[in-house]
Amino acid sequence: MSGPTALKASLLDPHVCVIGAGTMGRGIAQIAVAAGHAVSLVDPDAGQLQAAVADIRSRLNRKHPELATDLETRLLCAKSIDAVPAAADTLVVEAVVEDLAVKATVFAQAWDHFGPGCLLATNTSSLSITEIAAATADPTRVVGLHFFNPVPVMRLVEVIRGLDTDQEVVARVAALARSWGKEVAHVRSAPGFIVNRVARPFYGESLRLLEEQTASAEIIDEVLRGAGQFRMGPFELMDLIGNDVNFTVTSTVWRAFNFDARYAPSQLQAELVAAGRLGRKSGRGFYRYDLDADRPQPPPATSRADCPERVVMHGDSPQLAALLERAGITPQAGETGQTPSVEFPGQGMVVVTRGCTAQLESSSLGAPVAVLDLCLDPSTVDRLALASTDPDLLASLVALLSRAGVAAFPIADAPGLIVARVMSMIANEAWEAAHQGIATTEDIDSAMILGTNYPMGPFRWSEEWTPAVVLQVLDELATEYRDPRYRPSIRLRAAARTRTLSQSARSSAVSTGL
């Protein structure tokens, strides 16, 4: 035990006792100290405690040097809970190994020591809050407090209520987290909570695209960063997180959902883990991280074809219209009732993906077809995936995109291509979580932005593309694969229907002069 022999919890309300001095525990202790609380940090490993204190002092010194100077008066370190002052008004935050039995033991010791006035918060990222609470003396006083790494930097905390958690406990812990500078997302206890559930398709669908040889990891990363506006692609992010960690989280969520196909782990990732290719920490994952290894940059396609100067616009497609404008091409007006497309006279049609393969679109339109991937902002997009049934049409489209300032990445003809497929699956998971009452749509969007650095929340991009487009992509995937993995959420289907009926009503009112 280091620091003062007695800590007056009455000076600060409440006393915060963090159990576990690993990366997460020391981060939680740091923000509690910075907020002015009396803090105890408990870990049976004296070396871990010493490292934690040094780490906390170093980080506090950058922004709060006055706290770093007298850290010993603010932070009590102890090798056991019994060595901590038994302040009745204590918030216990456990950040120990993800093992139900271990957490139950920790909470039992804390309850015996601090008494029934304490609150028990778990930083678990994968275990059921209800199940953890059921192993305690009073499940009403147990709540999930899921921080994100690095704790002092990441603004999000998920506050998770178990089946028996008292609402007053939830409110108090949420208010405390806000006083620590965190944004709170309220969640009902369910596998993966918000972030670890809704984010699964970002990895899962990207892995499936790679397994099917639709595109390389480099191209998938490149396109999702460019057209999807993600800060990191899925493969570089899995390498950063650790393929072992990412695979374990996916497997845990999959098991918790009774092996639902939506969450099925990737055999390819399992192979990487078995081979020890864990990512950055092992020097190799999807990419190499040797000292002399260069990060591969996939070259975009080039074309010797001329950019078409005369094209015909059929129907209404904001994405195609924006790309033509950027290329300096004014299209001729075509048939308004036809599938939204741009016709390259004598060559074929260009469409934005609706989930169909180029081959199916070609069969439907009776002409060669090139399919463009969806993007979040066609006025600024600089990278797009595409597939085509005809090489000459593909070459002309690459030339047009080049003039528009867009790097083109041809890929195998796969349903939904890359961005439309991955982001529609993420959105579907968000709609399903909301449908099940796991969290509000606002909290889900906020959590995905703050917890994963998404460019916007999945409900927001559903609105940008319209729920009907997201639904159509999913329906086409379900039809093509015959896999329940792609079944759309009922709530998404209802949203698409409502939007369509609303648009029809407005169109009818305009046409009748109402």
- Whether omega before 44 lies within 30 degrees of 0, making that bond cis, reads no
- Residue whose token pair is 């595409």: 386
Give the three-state DSSP class for 38. Answer: coil
Give the three-state DSSP class for 439. Answer: coil
Sheet strands (E) in 376-436: 383-388, 407-410
Neighbours of 245 (CB within 10 A): 16
Cβ atoms of 169 and 225 closer than 8 Å: no
Determine the angle formed by the axes of helices 467-481 and 458-465, rounding to 10 degrees: 90
Q: Any idea what DSSP says for residue 213?
A: T
- Residue whose token pair is 């271990």: 102
Residue 162 CA, distance from chain mean position? 23
CA proximity to 41, closest of 68, 11, 3 = 3
Cross-strand bridge partners of residue 370: 350, 388
Give the three-state DSSP class for 252. Answer: helix
What residues contact residue 152 under an 8 Å CB cut-off, 6+ apart? 27, 30, 31, 34, 59
Cα angle 440, 442, 448; round to 5: 100
Distance CA 502, CA 467 (A): 13
- Secondary structure of the chain: what % helix, strand, coil (to 5)? 50, 15, 35
Distances in Å between the alpha carbon of 91 and those of 110, 173, 182, 291? Answer: 10, 9, 17, 45
* Active centre residues (catalytic): 125, 146, 158, 196
Sign for the CA dihedral angle at 280, 283, 289, 290 comes to positive
Distance CA 268, CA 438 (A): 30
